[in-house]
Structure 1
Amino acid sequence: MSLLSVEGLGIEFGGVRAVHDVSFNVKPGEIVSVIGPNGAGKTTLFNMISGVYLPGGGKVVLDGEDVTGMAPHLLARRGLSRTFQNLQIFQQMTVLENAIAGYHLQESGHVLSDMFNLPSSRKRARAAAEGAYALLERVRLSRAAEQEAGNLSYGALKRLEIARALALNPRVLLLDEPAAGCNAVETEEIDNLIAEVAKEGVAILLVEHDMKLVMRISNHIVVLDHGEKIAEGDPATVSRNPDVIAAYLGTQAEEATHADS
């Protein structure tokens, strides 16, 4: 059964069709990648799924519930979390504080208890700190917990953003170019982390330009061009699709497929 269903999703900006009639499903533990050339509508699609944009047509279904246009914080409480193409990190805060920030949507305390530092507030703070530190261990950043986030390498910042998204205990995780700007070692670390999360049953929707990474870890690939879906299937099928090659991949997909075979 699909955990996330995108059904005929579309949107226009100023009369220009950005995304049109896109549909696909993501099952628990599955990694589905959305690829396409620049301007294909990938991030716009992510923004509609995650509640940043209100779709002009179609719907988003999360675990059987129509959540189309629902605000991002409400989607997060229902188990859908995301990262962004541009880092959303608090550079002057410590690595641990950034990870703790991911827990704020789970907090159920009252303003007064926080104002007066009541035991319930302190208990929540301890639980958030412990959970955040465990996430940092998971993404191999625990040794940097007390450093300012701005001192981390770009790849480490990418892993920190994933850790913060995982703090919401998502059932569906949207990753927007998690390996962008990373070197080969950093990309492999992110590759392994994504695979680990998927093995735990989290449904992962990925936008990424690194074709070797996409072909290596994806169970299913959706290809967009000019806002429309032109192909979908497993990596081997997509990499040999003539429409995909003509629109975007060229020989990259073939090379990536053969390199990992």
Structure 2
Amino acid sequence: MSLLAVRGLGISFGGLKAVHDVSFALNAGEIVSVIGPNGAGKTTLFNMISGVYLPNAGQVTLDGEEVTGMRPDLLATRGLSRTFQNLQIFQQMSVLENVIVGFHLHERGSVLSDLLGLPGSRRRSRASAEGARELLDRVGLSRAAEREAGALSYGALKRLEIARALATRPRVLLLDEPAAGCNAVETEEIDRLICEVAQGGVAILLVEHDMKLVMRLSNQIVVLDHGEKIAEGDPATVSRDPKVIEAYLGTNAEEDADAHG
């Protein structure tokens, strides 16, 4: 049984089919990328899977449990977290505080205990701070822990958002254009981090326009065009599909696939 399964998912806006009858599955430790031209429905698909949009058709299951249309916060408690194309960072909070926010999802304690600063509350706070520092070290931001998040570079903010998503202890992580706007060095850091997370057993669903990164990282690729799935398979197979080349990738895709095996 797949960890995440999408079956016949679809949604329309004002009579326009934004996504229609899309199906695929994702297993633990696997990286699946969703690609396609602008307007293909990639982020809309993410929004349905992560509970931002309620689909008109189809279903989403997480570890066998149907979670179609479930609120994002409830999905997070079940192990599905995401990042956004447009950064969702608390700019005026510290880098460390941004990650600590992710740990609050699984904290167990009363409001009264927190208000009174009881021992249990203090222990939870210390544990969250320690966990947050470990994640910052993992994403290469430990030296920036006390800095205001808004002072970081764009690439560093991308890694910070991933760190906060990891703080929720996901089993499935949706990454919406994690390398967008990053330079070559920052993209390489994102690449390393995604591989490391997947090797830890987390299933990763990725939307990304950097085709070299997609071809290098992905176990499987799902291709959308005008809201419909036109191809699915491993990078080499997808890059040689005539429908994919016509819709999006172009002839350079075959060169990328040859270069990476």
TM-score (norm 2): 0.98
CA shift for structure 1 position 92: 1.1
Structure 2 Cα separation of the partners of residues 11 and 252 of structure 1: 32
Structure 2 Cα separation of the partners of residues 36 and 215 of structure 1: 13
Q: Deviations over 1:36-69 (max 9, x none)?
A: 0000000000000000000000000000000001
2:8 match: secondary structure: strand
Give 1:206's aligned residue: 206
CA shift for structure 1 position 255: 2.8
CA shift for structure 1 position 115: 1.4
Structure 2 Cα separation of the partners of residues 75 and 108 of structure 1: 17
Q: Deviations over 1:59-102 (max 9, x none)?
A: 00000000001000100000001000000111111111111111
Instruction: Please list every run of 5 or more consecutive structure 1 residues that lacks an aligned counterpart in the other structure.
Output: none
Structure 1 Cα separation of the partners of residues 63 and 122 of structure 2: 34
Is it true that 1:101 corresponds to 2:101 in the alignment?
Answer: yes
Instruction: Please list every run of 5 or more consecutive structure 2 residues that lacks an aligned counterpart in the other structure.
Output: none
Please tell me whether the aligned partners of residues 80 and 173 of structure 1 are also in contact (alpha carbons under 8 angstroms): yes
Cα-Cα RMSD: 0.8
Give 1:192's aligned residue: 192
CA shift for structure 1 position 244: 0.2
Give 1:63's aligned residue: 63
Structure 1 Cα separation of the partners of residues 256 and 152 of structure 2: 30
Is it true that 1:160 corresponds to 2:187 in the alignment?
Answer: no
Structure 1 Cα separation of the partners of residues 35 and 196 of structure 2: 22
CA shift for structure 1 position 260: 2.7
CA shift for structure 1 position 111: 1.1
1:69-218 equivalences in 2 (<5 Å): 69-218=69-218
Structure 1 Cα separation of the partners of residues 25 and 199 of structure 2: 18
Q: Deviations over 1:144-178 (max 9, x none)?
A: 11111111111111000000000011000000000
CA shift for structure 1 position 108: 1.6
Structure 1 Cα separation of the partners of residues 133 and 44 of structure 2: 33
Give 1:18's aligned residue: 18
CA shift for structure 1 position 259: 3.2
Please tell me whether the aligned partners of residues 100 and 164 of structure 1 are also in contact (alpha carbons under 8 angstroms): yes
Please tell me whether the aligned partners of residues 95 and 147 of structure 1 are also in contact (alpha carbons under 8 angstroms): yes
Structure 2 Cα separation of the partners of residues 253 and 151 of structure 1: 36
Q: What code does the residue aligned with 2:117 have?
A: N
Structure 1 Cα separation of the partners of residues 184 and 227 of structure 2: 30
Structure 2 Cα separation of the partners of residues 175 and 252 of structure 1: 24
TM-score (norm 1): 0.98
Give 1:9's aligned residue: 9
2:28 match: secondary structure: coil
Give 2:44's aligned residue: 44
Q: What code does the residue aligned with 1:91 have?
A: Q
Structure 2 Cα separation of the partners of residues 221 and 250 of structure 1: 16
Sequence identity of aligned pairs in percent?
79
2:150 match: secondary structure: helix
CA shift for structure 1 position 252: 2.9
More moved, 97-106 vs 229-238:
97-106
Q: What code does the residue aligned with 2:61 have?
A: V
- Displacement over 4 Å in runs of 4+: none
